[in-house]
Amino acid sequence: MKALFLNCTLKASPQTSNTEVLTREVMTAFEEEGVATDLIRVVDHNLKPGVSSDEGNGDEWPGIRAGILDSDILVIATPTWMAQPPSTAKRVLERMDAMMTETDDEGRPVAYNRVAGVIVTGNEDGAHHVISEIAGALVDLGFTIPGQAWTYWNGGPGPGPSYLEADHGKDWSLKTGRQAARNLIAVARALADKPMTMG
């Protein structure tokens, strides 16, 4: 079983991404359960605007798309900006839009029987909304969202420190993230045994 993490930070490598720090902490919970993990920092790649699976001419989406389809579990890890999903997360979802009409050998949308979760960090308010937006789009495509398949870290009210600078709430975020990992793996395994089918 494989889990792919897409880090949607706005900061290109090798800049420090707060989201990546929390994400790597959650990734260990997957590895402890024997799930192979991989992390891609989206902004390091050229994801051309569009809604097809290959926009040609230098487009690096096809590689990321292959990684998604090669995994049982997808986790979108993202900061909040203005309490909303950032452009990078939206670009990923847009490029996945083509999956609406792409089907497997049994005529099922390719996202069927895959599960997805969300990890959010921000220095302020907005995580729940970001989770709902991303989860809503993924359900639209056919991904199953297990109960409590997310974690987040932030503070409030108003602007505040980043995850790495702060010292509050990290235990809660990590504990919640470890249970999210457990839930994602459980539902992925249940669907592997008894998959969804087309009517």
Contacts of its own copies in 1-60 (CB under 8 A):
10-12, 43, 49-51
What is d(CA 28, CA 94) in angstroms, rounded to the nearest whole number? 29
161 binds its own copies (CB under 8 A): no
What is the closest distance, in whole angstroms, from the C-beta atom of residue 66 to its own copies in the complex?
A: 20
What is d(CA 101, CA 2) in angstroms, rounded to the nearest whole number? 24
What is the closest distance, in whole angstroms, from the C-beta atom of residue 58 to its own copies in the complex?
A: 14
2 closest CA partner among 72, 59, 49: 72
Tell me which of 84, 104, 106, 161 binds its own copies, using CB under 8 A: 84
What is d(CA 170, CA 156) in angstroms, rounded to the nearest whole number? 14
Nearer to its own copies, 5 or 188 (CB): 188
What is the closest distance, in whole angstroms, from the C-beta atom of residue 179 to its own copies in the complex?
A: 5
User: Which residue's entry shows tokens 């897409």?
Assistant: 6
Nearer to its own copies, 5 or 138 (CB): 138
102 binds its own copies (CB under 8 A): no
93 binds its own copies (CB under 8 A): yes
Tell me which of 25, 94, 98, 103 binds its own copies, using CB under 8 A: 94
56 Cβ contact list (under 8 Å, min separation 6): 48
Q: 140: helix, coil or strand?
A: helix
Nearer to its own copies, 16 or 132 (CB): 132
Dihedral angle of Cα 116, 122, 125, 129, to the nearest 10 degrees = -20
Ramachandran assignment for 174, one of left (phi > 0), alpha (psi -120 to 50 degrees), beta (any other) = alpha
139 binds its own copies (CB under 8 A): yes
How many residues of this chain interact with its own copies, rule: CB under 8 A? 76
131 binds its own copies (CB under 8 A): yes
What is the closest distance, in whole angstroms, from the C-beta atom of residue 6 to its own copies in the complex?
A: 14
